[in-house]
Amino acid sequence: MSKIVYHDHDSNSNWPRIEDVPPYQNLPEPESRRFDIRMYSPAELAIHNAMQEVEKLPADTELTEAILKLTEALAHVQSFVIKQENHGKETIQRD
């Protein structure tokens, strides 16, 4: 089972916790799933978590390139998931 990794939340922060934010409701389906981590498939979540780990490392142009490539990979996986959902083929297992 994939684990969602959130940034550390400071109790004094003005930013809401992800658990307190309602899902995107003003975007047309299925595009809203791209912006709501709670709707990610295990593959999308793995890429997201990898990006979070890379962001913890010191700044470097190689790491910036890695983030760009992971962002592109996430977009491709999201497109695939949306295409599968649109075709009614529920081949993606969600946690």
Give 10-residue mean pLDDT values along the chain (95 residues): 48 57 54 76 94 95 96 92 74 54
pLDDT at 84: 86
Cα–chain center distance at 50: 10
Position 24 scores a pLDDT of 52
* pTM strictly above 0.75: no
End-to-end alpha-carbon separation of the chain, Å?
7
Domain extents in the chain: 30-86
Tokens matching residue 33 = 């799933």
Cα–chain-centroid distance for residue 74? 8
Nearest CA-CA partner of 37 in 28, 50, 48: 48
